[in-house]
Amino acid sequence: MKNPGTNPVYRAGWALSHFIFDYFTRWEIYGKENIPKDGPFLLAGNHASFFDPPAFGSACPRELHYFARSTLFVGKFGNLIRQCHAIPVDRDGGNDLQAFREVFKVLRNGGGLLVFPEGTRSDDGNLREARPGVGMIAVRAKVPIIPARIHGSFRVFSRHQKLPDLKNRISVVYGPALDVADLDPGDTAPRRFQRISQGVLDAIGALNPPPRSEV
């Protein structure tokens, strides 16, 4: 797979992550043709593991921006993840206005943004209830939404594990683009964004790798 983008730090992280998943988990990737070749998009995935962000990122043929907890942006590590396109977000109830400004700037400039409709990692590997944030971004940005699902990552490195178990195989499946107009009921009720996020999560839940005989 061609190494994406021009940012040398991102490229190095991409290459390292791709090597780890390719060599250790013998991963499989399906539906890469659904990723837009250019222009802005949201990549909306399930979230069951610490490994999900680097897995989605290194499986994607384009560079991705993503959210990270604001407390991580300290010293050299903070500078490193900044160069890897991390956007600081306050997950403790603070004001995230600056984070959303950065998000919409990324999308206006034609970039891709990785988002998790569930908002946080699953406790058991199953899909959680969607949160409204993805719906809000989708409505305001009006960009294609690519649903994506990673299978097996919970067994590799769940929130209950101190170390990863790389003997388990994973697969990443990208689905066809979703149009927010097809998910949006069109009203202005406070639950509007929630319903859109849930529609995206439902599309994610329907993604499965093809049977082995079809691969």
Q: Decide: 30 and 174 in contact? Cβ < 8 Å.
A: yes
* Per-residue model confidence (pLDDT) at position 92: 64
> Residue 83, Cβ neighbours under 10 Å: how many?
14
- Per-residue pLDDT at 120 exceeds 90: no
pLDDT tens-place string over residues 166-209: 888 899 999 999 998 888 777 766 688 989 999 999 999 999 99
* Per-residue model confidence (pLDDT) at position 51: 87
Segment 96-112 mean pLDDT: 92
Q: What percent of the chain has pLDDT over 70?
A: 91
Closest CA to 35 of 142, 114, 99: 114
Domain ranges of the chain: 8-208
pTM for the whole structure: 0.89
Q: Which CATH superfamily is domain 8-208 in?
A: Glycerol-3-phosphate (1)-acyltransferase (3.40.1130.10)
Closest CA to 134 of 98, 166, 103, 160: 103
* Per-residue model confidence (pLDDT) at position 189: 64
